[in-house]
Structure 1
Amino acid sequence: MRSITAIMFTTLDGVVQGLGRPDEDTRGGFTHGGWRPRYNDDIMGAEMARGMAAPGDMLLGRRTWEDFARVWGRATDGNPFSAHMNAATKYVVSQTLTNVDDWQNSILLRGDAVQTVAELKARPGGDLSINGSASLVRALHAAGLIDHYTLLIHPLTLGSGTKLFDGPAPLREFDLTGCVTTGTGVIIANYSLKRARA
């Protein structure tokens, strides 16, 4: 069975919205877009590159896929992240998209997110990683389908914006399996789901 890792950039107050660019996600009047890039450094780059080195496929919600397809799908900058994103198989969970032809190696998963992802997870294949896609992560977390989290916790609060968990999340316990602090104060914490003891 495949495992699923959610990779989330978050603030201290749990905000995961609009991290890359001012115009990335302004839903709900969000005005703090683009809060993450100033925290990039070589340590973060090395940790993210380490994650990319492991074989696996991507799992994305519609909004994140559409944004990534615009940004990464047309990238010709020689950036290894661009090459990785374009080469990876990308499973897109959506009830509204009719095709995912705009970005190479994308496969549409139509229907209920939990059901389609549970079926995908049960099939043979590479492990899956979710980048962003907070609403998808929340749904899969509630269903017990997230095996690992990589949280990049940034040392700021925004006071508004979509949070990783808006409202209560069901009880799930995780073990800390690794932790790195970057030179800009970002904590990169890796967690794995604690399995019930037999």
Structure 2
Amino acid sequence: MAEIIATESISLDGVMQAPGSPDEDTRGGFEHGGWAAPFASDDQMAIMGEGMSQAGGMLFGRRTYDQLVGFWLSNPAPNPFTDHIRETQKWVASRTSAPLEHPNSTLLTGEAVETVARLRDEAEGALTILGSGELVRALHEAGLVDGFVLLVHPVTIGSGQRLFGEGGRHDLALRRADTTSTGVVIAQYRAS
């Protein structure tokens, strides 16, 4: 059985929308895209690189898959993510059956909670979710997320899509916390 780990960049007020670039996700008129970029650091990259070596595969919602994987695989600059993303098996929960454009990608069609629950039972290792807020919220509420790696940035955004919405209580246990040179707290939690 695999375990599902959600890795998310969030602001102090819980916003997860468009941390990477201004045009990443403008839904709802969101104008603060790229808010996490000023806090990037070498020590953050090193800590996140540790997690990449443990992943058994990646799990995405369709929007994040198209944007994030497409960005990293088309980025000509050398970086530690391109090869990892290209070579790692990717599963994509989607309501549409449009073909997936990137290598090592498998489409999970149907209700995300049901298809991901089956995948979790059949796969091995860690399945890392990046972004994919709608998917993370649904899986978390269904008790399918085994852990979180939260990159908490020292900024408040005030508006935008938040990681956790309405729902029941879920206790988490802190396993590790690191602070980067730019003030980002990387907190690793396990579901209790």
Q: Which aligned pairs between 1:1-198 and structure 2 lie closer than 5 A?
A: 1-100=1-100, 102-166=101-165, 168-194=166-192
Q: TM-score with structure 1 length normalisation?
A: 0.94
**Offset of residue 173 of structure 1:** 1.1
Matched pairs, number: 192
Secondary structure in 2 matching 1:4 = strand
Q: Distance in 1 between matches of 2:122 and 2:7?
A: 22
Per-residue Cα deviation, 1:96-154 (whole angstroms, up to 9, x for no partner)? 13221x10111000000000000000004232000000000000000000000000000
Aligned amino acid, residue 71 of structure 2: V
For the Cα contact (< 8 Å) 1:62–1:97, is it kept in 2? no
Secondary structure in 1 matching 2:73 = coil
Secondary structure in 1 matching 2:99 = coil
Per-residue Cα deviation, 1:8-30 (whole angstroms, up to 9, x for no partner)? 00000100001101011000000
Q: TM-score with structure 2 length normalisation?
A: 0.97
For the Cα contact (< 8 Å) 2:69–2:85, is it kept in 1? no
Q: Distance in 2 between matches of 1:45 and 1:65?
A: 21
Which consecutive unaligned segments of at least 5 residues does structure 2 have? none
For the Cα contact (< 8 Å) 2:177–2:187, is it kept in 1? yes
Secondary structure in 1 matching 2:181 = coil
**Offset of residue 37 of structure 1:** 1.1
Per-residue Cα deviation, 1:156-189 (whole angstroms, up to 9, x for no partner)? 10110000012x2222111100000111111100
Single out whichever of 168-177 and 43-52 deviates more from structure 2: 168-177
Structure 1 runs of 4+ off > 6 angstroms? none
Q: Percent identity?
A: 46
Q: Distance in 2 between matches of 1:93 and 1:37?
A: 27
Q: Distance in 2 between matches of 1:91 and 1:191?
A: 23
For the Cα contact (< 8 Å) 2:55–2:128, is it kept in 1? no
**Offset of residue 42 of structure 1:** 1.7
Secondary structure in 2 matching 1:176 = strand
Which consecutive unaligned segments of at least 5 residues does structure 1 have? none
Question: What RMSD, in angstroms, separates the aligned Cα atoms of the two structures?
Answer: 1.0
